[in-house]
Amino acid sequence: MRTQYEQLEYEYYETFWQSRNNGFSSNENHYSSAIAFPGVVDFIAWLSDQDRKPRTVLDIGIGNGRNAVVFAQAGYTVTGIDIAPSAIEIAQKNAAENNVTYTARVQSFFSYTPKQAFDVVVDCGLLHHARKQEWRHYQEQLDRVCAPCGYVFLKVFSSASPYLFERTYGARNWTLYEQHYNHFFTDNELELILGDRYTIHEQYYLPKSDSGIVYTVIFAQKKS
């Protein structure tokens, strides 16, 4: 049984990924790209410099698998989940085309109860679509899936973006675009979501190349 929010996400992304047919954009900053998000590439380099060497990665909202591919290429054991079945289908094809192996399955992050927590959790574009009433649940789930002292990669729309899509919805920094919620996060909100339980090691803005959208990228670590 999906929540109202999950149903909205499901319908939007199912249509979106169905329409892709593997025809990815060449824009490396876009999630329909065949190229990993640049912040994820930085994060993998950063992880390799850490004393504590992680092995397992959970990619929440794996999409077409563009980031899971580079983690698998870097030697990690990767699991990806997504609510959209067609994203999982594309992610599986993408693994085969790139000669890598990872597990990708249809599963909402909000009801995911893995047997074991992961050394690394990657959220490249899921949290910024969650509604505010899901944030607490998101924190609980992140705590559940991230191992003690595990690492977290987070990419969200930033309130520093000069462009917040066409239509604004309700409170500041929320937009409803193509029947799809987007939130542009302030630094304070991110601190509130992660601050207590995670140490933020790196935080920077990354402008999307062909638009006025700016992302916030975070490399964090669970405190215990």
Ligand X SMILES: C[S@@+](CC[C@H](N)C(=O)[O-])C[C@H]1O[C@@H](n2cnc3c(N)ncnc32)[C@H](O)[C@@H]1O
Query: Given the rule CB under 6 A, which of 102-110, 191-199, 200-208, 211-219 is the region that contacts ligand X?
Result: 102-110
| Chain-centroid distance, C-alpha 186 | 17
- 194: contact with ligand X by CB under 6 A: no
If the CB atoms of residues 42 and 149 are measured against ligand X, the closer one turns out to be: 42
Member of 78, 81, 142, 164 binding ligand X (CB under 6 A): 81
| Total residues in contact with ligand X, by rule CB under 6 A | 24
> How near is the Cβ of 130 to ligand X at its closest, in Å?
7
Q: Encode 14-33: b = buried (16+ Cβ within 10 Å), e = exposed.
A: eebbeeeeeebeeeebbbbb
If the CB atoms of residues 52 and 212 are measured against ligand X, the closer one turns out to be: 212
Could you give the CA distance from residue 61 to residue 83 in angstroms, rounded to a whole number? 7
CB 32 within 8 A of CB 20: yes
Member of 29, 56, 94, 108 binding ligand X (CB under 6 A): 108
> How near is the Cβ of 51 to ligand X at its closest, in Å?
27
Q: Name which of 21, 19, 40 is nearest 29 in CA terms.
A: 40
CB 172 within 8 A of CB 200: no
Angle between the 85-97 and 66-73 helix axes, to the nearest 10 degrees? 40
Q: At 215, phi and psi to the nearest 5? A: -100, 150
CB 44 within 8 A of CB 67: no
- 185: contact with ligand X by CB under 6 A: no
- 9: contact with ligand X by CB under 6 A: yes
If the CB atoms of residues 125 and 150 are measured against ligand X, the closer one turns out to be: 125
CB 70 within 8 A of CB 41: yes
Member of 125, 152, 181, 222 binding ligand X (CB under 6 A): 125
If the CB atoms of residues 71 and 198 are measured against ligand X, the closer one turns out to be: 71
If the CB atoms of residues 10 and 149 are measured against ligand X, the closer one turns out to be: 10
Residues near ligand X (CB under 6 A)? 6, 9, 13, 31, 37, 60-64, 66-67, 81-84, 87, 108-110, 124-126, 129
